Amino acid sequence: MISFPHAKINLGLSIISKRTDGFHNIETIFYPLPILDVLEIVPSEKTEFFSSGLPIAGVPDDNLVMLAYKLIKTKFPQIAPLEIYLHKSIPMGAGLGGGSSDAAGILHLINKLFNLQISRQKLNDYALELGSDCPFFMQPAPCIAKGRGEILEPIALDLSAYSFVLVHPDIMIETAWAYSSIIPSLPKYDLKKSILQPIQNWVNTIQNDFELPVFEVYPGLQKIKEKLYTSGAVYAAMTGSGSTIFGIFKKSDQPVSFEVENARQTWINC
Protein backbone atom coordinates (compact mmCIF):
# COMPACT_ATOMS: atom_id res chain seq x y z
CA MET A 1 0.00 0.00 0.00
CA ILE A 2 1.42 3.36 -1.08
CA SER A 3 0.85 7.01 -0.19
CA PHE A 4 2.46 10.27 -1.24
CA PRO A 5 3.05 12.58 1.75
CA HIS A 6 3.16 16.22 0.71
CA ALA A 7 5.08 19.28 1.87
CA LYS A 8 3.72 22.51 3.33
CA ILE A 9 4.76 26.12 3.65
CA ASN A 10 3.88 28.61 6.34
CA LEU A 11 2.20 31.81 5.22
CA GLY A 12 2.94 33.99 8.21
CA LEU A 13 4.08 32.59 11.54
CA SER A 14 3.63 34.33 14.88
CA ILE A 15 5.05 33.00 18.15
CA ILE A 16 2.46 34.29 20.59
CA SER A 17 3.33 32.86 24.01
CA LYS A 18 5.26 30.18 25.89
CA ARG A 19 3.06 27.44 27.32
CA THR A 20 3.36 25.71 30.67
CA ASP A 21 3.91 22.39 28.86
CA GLY A 22 7.09 23.75 27.24
CA PHE A 23 5.55 24.29 23.82
CA HIS A 24 4.56 27.63 22.28
CA ASN A 25 1.24 29.02 21.15
CA ILE A 26 1.51 30.00 17.50
CA GLU A 27 -0.61 31.34 14.68
CA THR A 28 0.14 30.46 11.08
CA ILE A 29 -1.35 29.45 7.75
CA PHE A 30 -0.41 25.96 6.57
CA TYR A 31 -0.55 25.71 2.79
CA PRO A 32 0.06 22.31 1.10
CA LEU A 33 2.46 22.04 -1.82
CA PRO A 34 2.89 19.07 -4.19
CA ILE A 35 6.45 18.17 -3.27
CA LEU A 36 5.92 14.50 -2.52
CA ASP A 37 7.68 11.75 -0.64
CA VAL A 38 6.74 8.15 -1.47
CA LEU A 39 5.75 5.85 1.37
CA GLU A 40 4.97 2.14 1.07
CA ILE A 41 4.10 -0.46 3.70
CA VAL A 42 4.14 -4.23 3.15
CA PRO A 43 3.24 -6.90 5.73
CA SER A 44 6.34 -8.88 6.61
CA GLU A 45 7.82 -11.35 9.09
CA LYS A 46 9.72 -8.56 10.82
CA THR A 47 9.60 -4.79 10.89
CA GLU A 48 12.27 -3.09 8.80
CA PHE A 49 12.76 0.42 7.47
CA PHE A 50 14.31 1.20 4.07
CA SER A 51 14.91 4.59 2.48
CA SER A 52 16.11 6.12 -0.76
CA GLY A 53 16.30 9.57 -2.31
CA LEU A 54 17.55 12.43 -0.15
CA PRO A 55 19.67 11.38 2.83
CA ILE A 56 17.87 10.98 6.16
CA ALA A 57 19.75 12.11 9.24
CA GLY A 58 19.86 10.02 12.41
CA VAL A 59 19.17 6.36 13.06
CA PRO A 60 16.08 4.68 11.55
CA ASP A 61 14.44 3.97 14.92
CA ASP A 62 14.31 7.71 15.63
CA ASN A 63 12.68 8.57 12.31
CA LEU A 64 9.12 9.88 12.65
CA VAL A 65 7.95 7.12 10.31
CA MET A 66 9.15 4.46 12.73
CA LEU A 67 7.88 6.39 15.73
CA ALA A 68 4.44 6.53 14.11
CA TYR A 69 4.49 2.77 13.49
CA LYS A 70 5.54 2.08 17.10
CA LEU A 71 2.80 4.37 18.41
CA ILE A 72 0.10 2.53 16.46
CA LYS A 73 1.60 -0.81 17.47
CA THR A 74 1.21 0.08 21.16
CA LYS A 75 -2.47 0.91 20.56
CA PHE A 76 -3.15 -2.12 18.33
CA PRO A 77 -0.68 -4.91 19.21
CA GLN A 78 -2.41 -7.27 16.77
CA ILE A 79 -1.11 -5.53 13.65
CA ALA A 80 1.55 -7.44 11.72
CA PRO A 81 5.18 -6.40 11.32
CA LEU A 82 5.82 -4.21 8.31
CA GLU A 83 8.49 -3.47 5.78
CA ILE A 84 8.39 0.31 5.45
CA TYR A 85 9.85 2.01 2.38
CA LEU A 86 10.38 5.77 2.20
CA HIS A 87 11.63 7.62 -0.84
CA LYS A 88 12.60 11.08 0.37
CA SER A 89 12.04 14.10 -1.87
CA ILE A 90 11.10 16.68 0.78
CA PRO A 91 14.32 18.05 2.33
CA MET A 92 14.80 17.58 6.06
CA GLY A 93 15.28 20.49 8.45
CA ALA A 94 13.88 22.82 5.82
CA GLY A 95 10.59 24.04 7.31
CA LEU A 96 8.58 22.00 4.82
CA GLY A 97 7.13 19.49 7.30
CA GLY A 98 8.32 16.38 5.48
CA GLY A 99 8.90 14.27 8.59
CA SER A 100 5.50 15.14 10.03
CA SER A 101 3.84 14.44 6.70
CA ASP A 102 5.51 11.02 6.51
CA ALA A 103 4.33 10.22 10.04
CA ALA A 104 0.76 11.19 9.14
CA GLY A 105 1.04 9.04 6.03
CA ILE A 106 1.97 5.99 8.10
CA LEU A 107 -1.04 6.51 10.37
CA HIS A 108 -3.36 6.66 7.37
CA LEU A 109 -1.81 3.62 5.67
CA ILE A 110 -1.87 1.38 8.73
CA ASN A 111 -5.45 2.36 9.55
CA LYS A 112 -6.50 1.44 6.02
CA LEU A 113 -4.36 -1.68 5.54
CA PHE A 114 -5.51 -3.35 8.76
CA ASN A 115 -9.05 -1.93 8.69
CA LEU A 116 -8.62 -0.53 12.19
CA GLN A 117 -11.49 1.93 11.70
CA ILE A 118 -9.77 4.61 13.79
CA SER A 119 -11.84 7.77 13.80
CA ARG A 120 -10.48 10.97 12.26
CA GLN A 121 -10.36 12.63 15.69
CA LYS A 122 -8.42 9.73 17.20
CA LEU A 123 -5.98 9.74 14.28
CA ASN A 124 -5.47 13.46 14.88
CA ASP A 125 -4.80 12.74 18.55
CA TYR A 126 -2.17 10.15 17.62
CA ALA A 127 -0.67 12.58 15.11
CA LEU A 128 -0.33 15.27 17.77
CA GLU A 129 1.67 12.87 19.92
CA LEU A 130 4.22 12.75 17.10
CA GLY A 131 4.49 16.46 16.30
CA SER A 132 2.65 19.75 16.60
CA ASP A 133 2.09 20.07 12.84
CA CYS A 134 1.28 16.39 12.22
CA PRO A 135 -2.51 16.87 12.50
CA PHE A 136 -2.43 19.26 9.53
CA PHE A 137 -1.09 16.50 7.31
CA MET A 138 -4.11 14.34 8.05
CA GLN A 139 -6.02 16.68 5.67
CA PRO A 140 -4.52 18.33 2.57
CA ALA A 141 -6.30 21.69 2.71
CA PRO A 142 -5.15 25.22 3.59
CA CYS A 143 -5.75 25.91 7.27
CA ILE A 144 -5.14 28.58 9.83
CA ALA A 145 -3.42 26.88 12.76
CA LYS A 146 -3.37 27.97 16.38
CA GLY A 147 -2.37 26.48 19.73
CA ARG A 148 0.69 24.31 19.15
CA GLY A 149 -0.41 24.12 15.53
CA GLU A 150 -3.04 21.47 16.11
CA ILE A 151 -6.10 23.76 16.29
CA LEU A 152 -7.01 23.90 12.62
CA GLU A 153 -9.59 25.96 10.79
CA PRO A 154 -9.93 25.49 7.01
CA ILE A 155 -9.71 28.69 5.00
CA ALA A 156 -10.76 29.48 1.45
CA LEU A 157 -7.32 30.23 0.02
CA ASP A 158 -6.70 29.37 -3.62
CA LEU A 159 -3.26 30.16 -5.02
CA SER A 160 -3.68 28.14 -8.20
CA ALA A 161 -3.11 31.30 -10.26
CA TYR A 162 0.46 31.46 -8.94
CA SER A 163 3.66 29.47 -9.09
CA PHE A 164 6.10 28.88 -6.27
CA VAL A 165 9.88 28.93 -6.25
CA LEU A 166 11.45 27.18 -3.27
CA VAL A 167 15.13 27.73 -2.53
CA HIS A 168 16.56 25.29 -0.01
CA PRO A 169 20.17 25.96 1.00
CA ASP A 170 22.24 23.18 2.51
CA ILE A 171 21.46 24.45 6.02
CA MET A 172 19.49 22.66 8.74
CA ILE A 173 17.94 24.98 11.32
CA GLU A 174 17.47 23.46 14.76
CA THR A 175 13.84 24.16 15.69
CA ALA A 176 14.52 24.26 19.45
CA TRP A 177 17.25 26.88 18.91
CA ALA A 178 14.94 28.95 16.72
CA TYR A 179 12.22 29.00 19.37
CA SER A 180 14.75 29.89 22.08
CA SER A 181 15.75 32.94 20.02
CA ILE A 182 12.20 34.36 19.97
CA ILE A 183 10.55 36.71 22.45
CA PRO A 184 6.87 35.75 22.10
CA SER A 185 4.39 38.56 21.43
CA LEU A 186 0.96 39.18 20.02
CA PRO A 187 0.96 39.75 16.24
CA LYS A 188 0.51 43.29 15.02
CA TYR A 189 -1.96 42.29 12.31
CA ASP A 190 -4.83 39.81 12.21
CA LEU A 191 -3.52 36.95 10.08
CA LYS A 192 -6.93 35.61 9.12
CA LYS A 193 -7.97 39.00 7.75
CA SER A 194 -4.59 39.70 6.16
CA ILE A 195 -4.45 36.43 4.21
CA LEU A 196 -7.74 37.28 2.48
CA GLN A 197 -6.34 40.58 1.19
CA PRO A 198 -4.76 40.80 -2.29
CA ILE A 199 -1.47 38.92 -2.27
CA GLN A 200 0.41 42.11 -3.19
CA ASN A 201 -0.52 43.47 0.26
CA TRP A 202 0.89 40.53 2.22
CA VAL A 203 4.37 42.00 2.37
CA ASN A 204 3.03 44.75 4.65
CA THR A 205 1.04 42.61 7.09
CA ILE A 206 2.21 38.97 7.01
CA GLN A 207 5.56 37.99 8.48
CA ASN A 208 7.42 35.03 9.96
CA ASP A 209 8.75 35.80 13.45
CA PHE A 210 11.60 33.33 12.95
CA GLU A 211 13.12 35.39 10.14
CA LEU A 212 14.72 38.03 12.39
CA PRO A 213 16.86 35.68 14.56
CA VAL A 214 17.54 33.21 11.76
CA PHE A 215 18.60 35.89 9.26
CA GLU A 216 20.97 37.37 11.86
CA VAL A 217 22.84 34.06 12.05
CA TYR A 218 22.39 33.11 8.38
CA PRO A 219 22.40 36.39 6.41
CA GLY A 220 22.53 34.45 3.15
CA LEU A 221 18.90 33.46 3.69
CA GLN A 222 17.84 37.10 3.78
CA LYS A 223 19.71 37.68 0.52
CA ILE A 224 17.77 34.83 -1.07
CA LYS A 225 14.49 36.43 0.01
CA GLU A 226 15.58 39.79 -1.38
CA LYS A 227 16.64 38.14 -4.64
CA LEU A 228 13.22 36.53 -5.01
CA TYR A 229 11.58 39.94 -4.70
CA THR A 230 13.94 41.55 -7.22
CA SER A 231 13.19 38.64 -9.54
CA GLY A 232 9.49 39.48 -9.51
CA ALA A 233 7.95 37.61 -6.57
CA VAL A 234 4.68 39.11 -5.35
CA TYR A 235 5.42 37.62 -1.91
CA ALA A 236 8.45 35.90 -0.42
CA ALA A 237 9.21 34.53 3.04
CA MET A 238 10.91 31.81 5.02
CA THR A 239 8.78 28.79 5.85
CA GLY A 240 8.68 27.45 9.41
CA SER A 241 11.94 27.91 11.26
CA GLY A 242 13.80 27.59 7.94
CA SER A 243 15.86 27.13 6.03
CA THR A 244 13.71 27.09 2.88
CA ILE A 245 12.82 30.47 1.38
CA PHE A 246 9.87 30.58 -1.02
CA GLY A 247 8.67 33.11 -3.53
CA ILE A 248 5.20 33.33 -5.06
CA PHE A 249 5.07 34.43 -8.70
CA LYS A 250 2.33 35.07 -11.23
CA LYS A 251 2.08 32.09 -13.55
CA SER A 252 2.49 34.42 -16.52
CA ASP A 253 6.02 35.26 -15.35
CA GLN A 254 9.02 33.34 -16.59
CA PRO A 255 10.61 30.75 -14.28
CA VAL A 256 13.20 32.21 -11.95
CA SER A 257 16.70 30.81 -11.91
CA PHE A 258 19.63 32.32 -10.07
CA GLU A 259 22.79 30.95 -8.57
CA VAL A 260 22.75 30.09 -4.86
CA GLU A 261 25.74 28.09 -3.70
CA ASN A 262 24.83 24.71 -2.19
CA ALA A 263 21.11 25.24 -2.64
CA ARG A 264 18.30 23.40 -4.41
CA GLN A 265 15.66 25.26 -6.39
CA THR A 266 12.21 23.87 -7.01
CA TRP A 267 9.62 25.47 -9.30
CA ILE A 268 6.04 24.41 -8.55
CA ASN A 269 2.82 25.05 -10.46
CA CYS A 270 -0.16 24.20 -8.25
Domain boundaries in the chain?
2-154, 162-269
Q: Could you tell me the pLDDT band of residue 252, with boundaries at 50, 70 and 90? A: confident
State the average pLDDT over residues 207-214.
Answer: 97
Domain over 2-154 is classified CATH 3.30.230.10: yes
Confidence of residue 257 (pLDDT cuts 50, 70, 90): low
Band of the pLDDT at 93, cuts 50, 70, 90? confident
Which pairs from 252-259 meet CB under 8 Å and 24+ separation? 253/163, 255/163, 255/165, 256/165, 256/228, 256/231, 256/232, 258/227, 258/231
Residues 51, 89: contact at Cβ < 8 Å? Answer: no
pLDDT in tens, 5-15: 999 999 999 99
> Strand, helix or coil at 160?
coil
Report the helix count and the strand count for the chain, using DSSP H and E. 8, 12
**pLDDT of the residue at 58:** 80
pLDDT of the residue at 258? 66
The pLDDT tens digits for 156-169 are 999 999 999 999 99
| Alpha-carbon gap, residue 105 to 5, rounded angstroms | 6
Whole-number Å distance between alpha carbons of 146 and 153: 9
Contacts of 135 (CB under 8 A, 6+ apart): 104, 124, 127, 128, 149, 150, 152
- How does DSSP classify residue 254? P
Report the catalytic residues. 8, 133
Q: Which fold has domain 162-269?
A: Alpha-Beta Plaits (3.30.70)
Backbone angles phi, psi at 26, to 5 degrees: -130, 170
pLDDT for the residue numbered 261 = 75
- Strand pairing class (82-88; 48-53): parallel
pLDDT band, very low/low/confident/very high, at 56 (cuts 50, 70, 90): confident
Average pLDDT over residues 97-120: 96
Q: Is it the case that residue 242 has pLDDT exceeding 70?
A: yes
* Residues facing residue 146 across a β-bridge: 151
